[in-house]
Structure 1
């Protein structure tokens, strides 16, 4: 079994809880304030993506110079992915403005501890273990892309204009290809058992932290309806 499949098997055990949390997040009742809160929370997550990859690429390049066989291909992948992910945090600020809030709603508050735990763990593993761990984080964030029809459904239910859903729309279009590239990389890299463990631990931590974050976001607005009542919105992932 290739490394990518071993990671998929491990994640399959944790993904039902994450998908359940997004189902609650996207329920129709109270969706407008919850969507605005979601945009703010995701900005605090996504604005760390490029800095994380930049630091991981620096560490990987340094390790390559000292003979680490993962260093050069990992750094090359991260440099390419940095270009692909650039400005995505700005998309979220534009979405917030179109949704009737504004950039300060995401930029001014102290990011919640769950977000610090989500991204901060990656900094620790990059600096104090091995930057390959970041691939687990990327696998989860990009492996749960929104369903292709989610953006128009959210627009219909909230009454917001289409520009308020650029991030949801673009990630539905882009992330399947990105996660395919990442899994192909995992299968090319000469991973040891320790490297695979680092990727898996990072991925499982990311899944757990995202689940907790979405559960909290799901409490924004009215309480969930009794099962069978009201309308629901198809999920599909985190961004």
Structure 2
């Protein structure tokens, strides 16, 4: 069994709880307010993506004799370009959804965001940058489903301009995930390194599930309460 197949098998064990959390998150009741809160929360997550990869690149440069150095460096450099400005998409979506970018930029990121993103900084600095691949596998392997954009637009009356991030990631992330799994299968990983990637992925999946549980249960932030959809010009149906 390939490295990627072993990782997929491990992640399958956590899928039922994640699916339950996302089902609750995307239910129709109160979806507009939850979607605005979702955009703020995902901005806090996604704005760390490029800095994490840049940090991993710098730490790989400190390992010139590492057999993972060349393929991992090439992958990270390319993926940084692919993920650039995605945090800006979320701010644009938030504005189009009737809220303000300051709702995402001002508050302290929630603890569940730090629990998802923070361990990656530690493992890159104090173990090995390859652990980041487990985190990437989860974020891209459990991206929005292709039909989610239409559902959000239909239930909230929001225009297509408010749904760019969900729409683009539903289209892009399947291809990105295939590239990542192909990389994992050709990297000369030791058993310990493969285990580290798996630990990173399993922790990330659990933390992402906890984040969606909170989103599904929480009321909108005070600054978002009562924010209605903008007029239905160009509504996605």
Per the normalisation by structure 2, the TM-score is 0.91
Per-residue deviation, 1:71: 1.3
CA contact (8 A) 1:136 1:202 kept: yes
Could you say which residue in structure 1 is the equivalent of 2:59? 59
Distance 2:161 2:22 in 1: 22
Could you say which residue in structure 2 is the equivalent of 1:13? 13
Distance 2:185 2:61 in 1: 20
- Name structure 1 gaps, 5 residues minimum: 223-239
Q: Relative to structure 1, is the Cα distance of residues 221 and 109 closer, same or farther in structure 2, using a 3 angstrom cutoff?
A: closer
Runs of 4+ in 1 over 2 A off after TM superposition: none
Question: Which of 84, 103, 106 is matched with 1:105 structurally?
Answer: 103
Could you say which residue in structure 1 is the equivalent of 2:164? 166
Distance 1:15 1:202 in 2: 16
Distance 1:46 1:138 in 2: 11
Per-residue deviation, 1:177: 0.1
Could you say which residue in structure 2 is the equivalent of 1:210? 208
Per-residue deviation, 1:167: 0.2
The total of aligned residue pairs comes to 220
Query: Are 1:200 and 2:198 matched, yes or no?
Result: yes
SS at match of 1:191: coil
1:1-239 alignment, distance < 5 Å: 1-63=1-63, 65=64, 67-221=65-219
Distance 1:16 1:206 in 2: 15
Per-residue deviation, 1:145: 2.1
Per-residue deviation, 1:61: 2.4
The CA RMSD over aligned residues, in Å, is 1.0
Distance 2:100 2:118 in 1: 26
Per the normalisation by structure 1, the TM-score is 0.90
Distance 1:104 1:58 in 2: 31
Distance 2:142 2:156 in 1: 22
Could you say which residue in structure 1 is the equivalent of 2:235? none
Per-residue deviation, 1:221: 4.6
- Name structure 2 gaps, 5 residues minimum: 221-237
Distance 1:15 1:25 in 2: 15
